Structure formats: structure tokens, C-alpha cells
Amino acid sequence: MLFNSLTFVLHFSLFYIIYFYSTFTIRKTILIIFGLYFYSQWGIEGTLLLILSIIFNFLIGILIDSNVSKLRKRIFVFGIVANVLYLGVFKYFLFVWGIFSDLQVEFGGQSPLWKPNLLLPIGISFYTFHNISYLIEVYDNRIKVCKNFFTFVLYDLFFPLLLLGPIERPGNLIPQFESERFISKEKIWNGLSLFCFGVFIKSSIADPLSRYVGTMANSFDSLEPGILWIVAPSIAFQVYADFFGYSLCAMGLAEMLGFELMNNFKRPFFSSNPSEFWSKWHISLSTWLRDYVYIKLGGNRHGFFRENSNLLLVWFLTGIWHGAGYGFIIWGLYLGICLILYRILKHLGFTQFQNPFLKVLGILFTFYSFSLGLLLFRINSPSESLIIIKNLQHIPHPSFVPYSLIFIILPLVLFDVWQEWKGTERPSFFVNEKPYVFGFLFVIGFCWFSIVSPFAKEDFFYFQF
């Protein structure tokens, strides 16, 4: 039941009518029931695992709060280790098993090792990080422990962010569940506009780009020389439109329900350096890793070398978080090295330029360094990275440029330019300030959607993570 499907729209419409006319005490129950129903569409087994994870982390939080001294720390460590192992078993066990199987064949084994069939619950990376941040915040006394079990259940089962985030902080989300939310006409229209635009850029931009990328990047050794200079930006816009589209849908649905989620993207392709880029892309993940890993490792408090070593470790973990595969690990290390190189140049004073031309060059360099890195998502072995490098040694022929795709991404580019010009902190169509402008844009968007969008719907890109 994808956000960009008629099935979801019909189910949500019925749910929303009941929710809107219910009292505050009943709304929480309705949200939990719909969250369970929504998540169960991807399998009962995964739903049972999620419920067990919720119960476990709720009890660990209570135990941390009710104990002192060494026992409290041991309970906390046990809770964190259990969550990491939970994520590791279901998401990374088969990858590690595959490595041992490859080594066994490499060193003379007759056949690969038997491969167990393990379930990979959808959204497991997001809700596990959700729970880890809750335990850390409780242990560090930044928030009060949640003693209401149903509030904590809703913290993990809030369906707008259940599958792909953003990875909300408990200090922001739990208090919203504990206080009555007033749903104004403005919130309904703002939320609806964000949801519609999220579906629009997913179906009209991300999906067509996904089909182009799928035909071009499945076999790197059969591609025309230099064409990856064109494929890489296509992947970048595909991932951006896909994940940004989901985030807008999540924000819009939450606002219609009376809640406010954090903004996960802030026009990252306008960034002129890697550091700025990662403060604007997947903000909930980058700030999570900063606060709970990088700072916990010492951050920048122990010298320049230790600071960059911590960064590289964080980016190695970022790669692993995105998926179990060689490409994800290499991708994480690649981005970590890019960021460290920039920080070294900044440390040496080579980045203090205010020239507009150099800023534009910085934007192009940052965009392409990110885009080329996304090619690593699609490699199946480290040797394929050499094929990518060989392809990039050539200049693509102008006939390779898919001009129709440039036309397709135009609405997203114009939206980001508009938001950058307005200086918005959160994406907005200013529905209440300029209703006629919004109405005009909605009609144009609907026509565009009707022309470009296919009938077949594709999964969101980050479902695989």
C-alpha cells in the first residue's frame, strides 16, 4: 500500500474521516490500529517482529529510568547491543554469510555454503534507529521516559514515517502524541498540498528516471564509453525525487493529522561543498549519526587526525546502514574521503573564496561527486568499480543526452529554485497566502502528471534500506 497508490488514498480517506471526527483519547487508538494495518500489508511476520521490538524497547526504557549506578549502565548497553544485533541479524547476516561462502569456494571448497532464508522487515533500519535514539535520550536524561505504553507504541507505529522516516527524535515526537492536536483548515490544505506534490514528483519524475537508470546501469561493462557522466546525474535526481517525494508525503500526512515532522531535505543540490550538502540531504540520518556516533566518539575534541578518523568511521557505518553489499561499503568510504579532503582543504585555507563563479563551480563539483558516488550502489563486486572508472575516462557523445529526462525533472528544479529564492525552512506552497497561485500550479501539475506518469507504480527507492 504505497503512498502513490489509489489503494492508499482510499484507505486513508476513510481513516481520516473517522480520525477527524474522533476525540483526542480515541484518536491515538485509531492511529495505532491504522499503523498496524498499514505495516501489515508487507507481511505479518515483519509486523510481529516490529511489535516485539516495541515491547522490548519500552521495557528497557522503563528499566533504565528505574535503576541507578552500574546496573543502569548495563541495562542501557544491553538495550543498545540488542537493537544492533536485531538489525544486524535480519539485514546483514546473509551478506556476511555470503562473504564466508565466497571465501570457502576461493580456498578450494566444492560448492558455496548453504544459504538460509531470512526475512528482511521493511523499514527495519529506520525504526531500529528510532528506538536506539530513544534509549540514548532516556539514559542521558535529555527526555523523560515514556511510561504510557500506547504512546510509545505510536512513537514506532506512526504510519507517515514508519517505513522511510524521517528518523524523528523522541523529544520532538512523543510530546506531540501526549498533547491534544488542533487540526485547522490551514493544516489540512498545507498537508494536502505537500502530499500531492510528493506523489507528483515520485510518480512523474522519480519513476521515469528509475526506468531509464534501470536500463542503463544494470550492466556497466556493456555501456557506451563516457555515458556514466550522464547516467550518474540521472540517478541523483531519481533518488532525490523519490526520497524527497516520500518525505513530502510523510510531512503532509502528519500535518493533516495535526503533527509536525522534521524537514528531511533542504535543497541539497544548491550546496557548494560536501559539508553543506550533508547538512541538507537526509537531514534526520546525518544529524542522528552526528549526535549519537560522531560526538560519542569524541567529535572534534581530540585533534584534527582523530576528528577525521571519526568521520571516516561514521561514513563507513553510513554505507553499511544503507545496505548489505560491497557497493554500499565502498560508497560510504568514498563519501567519507570526499568530506575529509574538503575539510583538509578548508583547514589549509583553500576554501575561503567568495567569488560567485567559484561558488557555481563548487556546486557543480559537489553535485557530481555525489552523483558519481551513487553508481557504487549498483556494483556487485569491488572489481566493477574499475569498470566505472574506465567508462568515466571518456567524454560522452552529445547524442547520449536524454533530453526528455531534462524536461521531466524541470518541475522539481523550478520548485527548489522557488524555495531557495523564498528562503523557506520547510517546503511550502504558501496555500493560505496565495491560494490562486496554488490553484494554478495544481492544475498545471495535474496535467503534467497525466501526461508523464505511468499507470504502473514502483516501490520507493529507500524501501531496500
Q: Which of 118, 122, 155 is nearest to 41 (CA)?
A: 122
Catalytically annotated residues: 322
Query: Residue with C-alpha cell 477527524?
Result: 20
**Grid coordinates representing 247?**
518525505
Contact call for residues 329 and 96 (beta carbons, < 8 A):
no
Burial 82-91 (b: 16+ CB within 10 A, else e): bbeebbbebb
Query: Residue with C-alpha cell 531557495?
Result: 420
Cα–Cα distances in angstroms (integers) from residue 355 to residues 358, 359, 360, 423, in the given order: 5, 6, 9, 21
**Grid coordinates representing 317?**
557505518
CB atoms within 10 A of CB 326: 19
Query: Residue with C-alpha cell 523529544?
Result: 171
CB atoms within 10 A of CB 158: 24
- Residues with Cβ within 8 Å of 4's Cβ and at least 6 positions away in sequence, in order, are 199, 202, 203, 245, 249, 457
Eight-class DSSP state of 187: H
